[in-house]
Every structure is written in C-alpha cells, then in structure tokens.
Structure 1
C-alpha cells in the first residue's frame, strides 16, 4: 500500500477573538489501497481535519471517527462567519472534555462518504472517477467495510509518523470504527469510547438498514447506479433520509415538533381529509429537511454505507466475542437510554463480553429526548466523564 500526504491548505488551530476554533480541510491520498475484501482501489483520497498540536513524542493523538451521515468536521468552524460549528464542538476544543490544549485531535472523512457533493468533504466512492475508465465507478466500486475505514485512517496516521493513539472516540457508525480499531490494532489503542454505539450489527439492525436502501433502488432515476450522466435519484435518496432521521429521533421529539406547529397541523388535517395526495404536516416537515440534506449527498454512497454497516462485527472474525478477544483498551460505552436506532442492548452486549473476558469496561447511559441524537446534540452531559476517562 503506497500513500502520500498532501496539504491542500494550511491547518489553522488558532483561536479567534471569540475563542472559536478555526480549521481547514486537508487531503490524504493513497496510490493503491487493498480492501478487506481483497479488491484494489486506485488513487484513493480522503479529507481530514485536526485540532490542537502534535507533541514531540507524537503520543497525544485522539482519533475521532464520525457517524453515518457526517464527515470529519467534528469541531470548530471553517470561518468565523459559519452559522454552525462541527458536530462535537461542545466537547472538542481548548479546555473542553477533549482538550485541544492537551491533545492532537484528528478526524477523517470515510470512504464512500455520504456527503460526496459537499465541497467540505473529500472521499472516494461510487461517484468518483475510476482512473481505469475515466468514468464514475457506479456499482463497479468495491464493497467496503468498517475495517477499510479504519485501515485508511491508520495509513494517514502512519504518514504523519504516528504509531499509537491516546484514544479513539466515535458515535454511531463512528463507534463501530472505534471498537474495530481497538480490536484490530490493540497495541495502538489504550482507550476507546463508544457513543450511541454497537459491537456488531445484528439481524434487526441489518433489516432496518435495508429499509434505507429500498427507496433508492425503487427510484426510476437510479438506473442500477448508472445515473451520473442523467438525473439523480433524488426522491429515493430523500425518502431514505426521512427514514434515517425518524429512526435517529424519538416519538416524544416528533410530537413536540407537531405541537409547536399546531396551526399547520390543523390545516394539513383538513387538506388530507379531502385529498389523498396531501401529506400530514409532520411528514412535510420531515420531507423538506431530508430534501435539503439530499442536495449534498449521493445515493450510491448511501447504499455502500448501508452495506458496510450490515457487514460490521468488531474484529471482523465472524463472532463478536472472538473479535474482541485481543482488545486491550480500557473502554467506555455511552448508549442513549431511548435510542431506537442502535438500541442500548447492543452496547450492553459488547460491554458485557468485555467484562466476562476480564477487561476494563464502563457503561453509562445518556439521557434526553433526542434518542440516537443524544450522542451528538446532548453529548456534553457526559463531558466530565469523558474528560476523566481520557486521563486514566
């Protein structure tokens, strides 16, 4: 595997007058990468961001692995005028739980990243140009796994002269990468934090993931993945994102949204009584938000991410207990008590296996009315615990 480190733009880890962390996206390339399934990807590229400074021993590194619909923008802003900071800005930064005065924090865009059309995302996947044909890969792109995401990250870290992490921390699909890191490369990972996570995808989860693929495959514009010279399957992708959003939240949250817009709900009830083509107000609300997000995403990339998640079992040895056998890291699991997507039993099972294997593992449940998204939007409630765990 040949790799090279390319600085697309200089990294900024200075603070603005408002103490905001400013960051730029950087680019990493590998000339040839062999997937877990034995296929070759040429001219692979991913983006990454980092916060804080790498010390002289290069042993203060915390890797942040991102969730399904995210990219590497975990903290800070690209400019002072950005409306929103990275998704974990509440816990990453100077003096925060993951303190960038102490740690060099790095996050990497995954392969087949969902945000393939976002200018702040660098990824290789079905929408990329196959160097052998000069055309987008489409479904000829190799199936990739969570292990492949891990191995690309490892290659990037090695290009920086890093040979061990202080910790790896991830939420949702990021938690899968985090625990697989600890299982695959135990000498690298002394600490692992799994947030709203899982040690494997069980049959229930695999079936739910498949529901996200179905609308895309049924969209006539999908054309077996060969849509890059024509109209994209936007409606199929939008419908998939609607399913994802609902699974990531809770009935309580949806009912609160509906009550907040009670006038619109009453109007929609009158309309849907008269017209079968009209939708309830909450469905319109969900569709509009999904459609906005779909503009920066790629439908084929979603299918590949679904498959990577369906194939996941930590250690990739077919059985979870076997896959966790070599793990040496101290582990902290932070599931959400009302998560309908990666339900708490998944984290509890991995935690219990590690306890039975005589390993150091802790588990604390997150609270809140956001379900799976408690692990993103309400993560600061366990900020002190995260800080303490990283100091162990």
Structure 2
C-alpha cells in the first residue's frame, strides 16, 4: 500500500517524509516581455517559485534548486498541514537537514512549459496558456524553448530579489541540466554545483529514447496537430507517454517488485489482443498523472531536454571549461535513463579542464528515481560539500 501511495503522489515513485514539514507559500513572478534563445518574444511569462529558510544580510547564503522533468518548484515542505506529502526533496531540505534552512536560503522555481500546468500549485507559461494577442491557447505557436531559457527566467527572478551569487545550485535529472547550465553560462555567480542523476549533454541514444515520450502524443488523432484545447486532451497519447516516462525512470528491480509478472496473467496466453496486468496497472498510474499535465507541455519539455548540451553550442566539453564552481556529481548506480557513464564523462570533461570535481553514486533499486526517493543516501555528501570553502 505504501508503494502504491508513492506512485500516486509523484507519478514516478516519489516518497514523501512523514515528519513535521515546513509550511511554505507559492509566489508568482512575471516578466512582461521575455525573449527566447530563438529570438521569439513571449508577453508575458509567469512562473511560480517558493523559498525555504531566511536570506542573510549580504544575500550570500542562497541555494537554487532546479527541478526534474515531471516536477515543480515544490522541493520541500507543505502548503498545508493536511497535505498528503511534502515536496520531493523534503528528506534533505529543511532545518538541520543536509541543505540546512537554518543556514541557507533555498529557492526553487517552476520551469517554463511545466508539465503540471493544471496543478493549482504550479504557475507556468506554455502552450496551454492563453495568448493575450489571440485570446486562445498558444498551442504549437508557442516558441521552442530551451534549458537556457529556463535559466534566463530564473536569473530574472534572482536579479529582481537582488541576489547576485549562489552558494550552490543543485538539481536532479532535467534539473541537473539547468544546474550545469547555470555554472557554465554564469560561472562567476555559482560557487558550488551539484548535478544529481544528470549529465552535461544529451547524446543521440538519449535523445531518441526521449522521443519515445513524444511519439504516442503526436500519433493520437485527438492531438489534432497540437490544436486540441477546445476538444479535450489527447488522453490515450498522453497517458501512454506518461507510462513510458514512469517505466524509463525505474530500474527493473524496482519495477518488477511493483508490477505483476507475465506468468501470472491468463488472458495473454490465449488472446493476442489481451494486455498484461503490468501494462494495465502502469497505464492506470499514468492516467492519474495525466489529470494534472498537458500533452503539448510534455512535447516542449522533451524537446528542451533533447537539445541540451552545456553552453548550448557545438562543443559541450569546451563550454565546461568556463565553470568556476566546485562540482559534485551524484548519479544513481542503476540509472537506465541518464546513465552513470554520462555523469562520469561529464565529470572527466571538467577534470580535463582543470576543475575540482567530486563523484559519488546513489545506491538503490529504483534507478533514475533513486535521485528522488533515495537522495538521503547521499545526504552527508551534500552536507559536507556545501560546507567546503
């Protein structure tokens, strides 16, 4: 039952702490006119953000948390005491925890085109947003946005708060791309960098794997070329895409513990059209997630992730040479999505450029998701790294 609750809460096995959680507030930030890396202007851009701890007098104690593909800025605490679970990294963010809010001021920001656009606690601009110029949803007229664009929105927020330098930036999965891009693009502003279950690049293998997440949406007739808002979501395509996302994020050991084995099913032995129970259950879990998410937003997040390489230029290894931050890579040993080998290659590129790099792996049976559910295993690595001079 606990494992089922885990799936329902995050959609990808997020386990929340049952301890007394901080109460947090979601804030809104708006940029009247935002110019993307592609030269398009979005007017306005709105994102949500939340913070934990207190900002010190010289604003030198800020840690930026950048979130993963299906996540949001809700990294820790609860909005209400009655919330079922706290934010996804509540195990390491809070008073006395690895990211100690008695010491640090921790900020997290909803990304552009956030997947959870229908979650009332998420504020984001994307294809499902009404375009003021037309009075209709942007749909696919929304410009392609990149990890670099996510960074520029976050920078605008920090600038508005008078925060010029980050004690650290830490992020998991797609959040690791953002963290690395921060340290590459604005090296003088980032003192410490912690990419969790991440990489400084996406290669062809990873990009094609991510295309599997987009394909079911685009093949669903109900998607209508992205212009479906007056008709309703392309439910089958979106649900299938989310099922692939859930499976890709979980190592086989954990997956097989959660879902029934093929030999327990009778119907597939007799009927070629019969589905396995594991698939039906996976689709049921994905359908729950689909109620908060938008199909076009998934496509835009897939593309932003596919396009990522440090510096967003032709040579990500050279771009890493700009990094000034001390770096701690924390891949998950069983990750089948962003392989540990990708984190190792990224770390080696930094070392080759003469940078200070530490490396430790997160153990566990959940693979990529160990970067969320198993993060406490490396809590002391994070705590000690943040304290380094």
TM-score, with length taken from structure 1: 0.93
Q: Distance in 1 between matches of 2:206 and 2:266?
A: 37
Q: Which residue of 1 aligns with 2:91?
A: 90
Cα distance in 1, alignment partners of residues 235 and 25 from structure 2: 29
- Partner Cα distance (1:358, 1:334) in 2: 19
Contact 2:255 2:366 in 1 (8 A): no
What is the distance in 1 between the residues matched to 2:118 and 2:63? 28
SS in 2 for 1:221: helix
Rounded Cα–Cα distance in structure 2 between residues aligned with 1:19 and 1:83: 12
SS at match of 1:245: helix
Runs of 4 or more above 4 Å deviation: none
Q: Indicate the residue corresponding to 1:74 in structure 2.
A: 75
Matches within 5 A, 1:325-364: 325-364=321-360
User: How far 1:272 sits from its partner (Å)?
Assistant: 2.2
Which residue does 2:24 correspond to in 1? 23
User: Once the 2 structures are TM-superposed, how far is the Cα of residue 271 of structure 1 from its aligned partner?
Assistant: 2.1
1:188 aligns with 2:189: yes
Are 2:246 and 1:245 equivalent residues in the alignment?
yes
- 1:273 deviates by 2.6
Query: How far apart, in 2, do the equivalents of 1:230 and 1:19 lie?
Result: 43
Q: Which runs of 5+ in 1 are unaligned?
A: 1-17
Deviations 1:243-279 (A, max 9, x none): 1111100111122123xx57xx666x21223333331
How far 1:24 moved relative to its partner? Answer: 1.4
2:14 corresponds to:
none
Partner of 1:315, secondary structure, is helix
Q: How does 1:254-333 map to 2 (within 5 A)?
A: 254-258=255-259, 269-333=265-329
SS at match of 2:107: strand
CA drift at 1:314: 0.8
- Matched with 2:4 is none
Residue 7 of structure 1 corresponds to which residue in structure 2? Answer: none
Paired residues, number = 370
CA distance in 1, matches of 2:280, 2:299: 24
What secondary structure is seen at the aligned counterpart in 2 of 1:253?
Answer: helix
Please state whether the residue corresponding to 2:310 is helix, strand or coil.
coil
Whether 1:42 and 2:43 are equivalent positions in the alignment is yes
1:10-51 deviations in Å (ceiling 9; x for gaps): xxxxxxxx7420011110000000111111010110001110
Distance 2:256 2:110 in 1: 34
Question: Equivalents in 2 of 1:256, 1:118: separation in Å?
Answer: 29
TM-score by length of 2: 0.93
Give the distance between the partners of 1:277 and 1:91, measured in 2 at CA: 46
Alpha-carbon distance in 2 for matches of 1:389, 1:254: 32
Distance 1:22 1:160 in 2: 21
Instruction: Provide the rounded CA distance (Å) in 2 between the counterparts of 1:275 and 1:81.
Output: 46
* Corresponding residue of 1:367: 363
How far residue 320 of structure 1 moved from its aligned partner, in angstroms, is 1.1
Matched, 1:387 2:388: no
* Residues 38-85 of structure 1, C-alpha deviations (whole Å, 9 max, x = no match): 110101100011100111111110000000000000000111111111
- Give the Cα separation in 2 of the matches to 1:22 and 1:274: 53
SS state at 1:238 partner = helix
Offset of 1:370 from its aligned partner? Answer: 0.4
Q: Tell me which residue corresponds to 1:51.
A: 52
Q: For the residues of structure 1 that align with 2:273 and 2:31, how far apart are their CA atoms?
A: 49
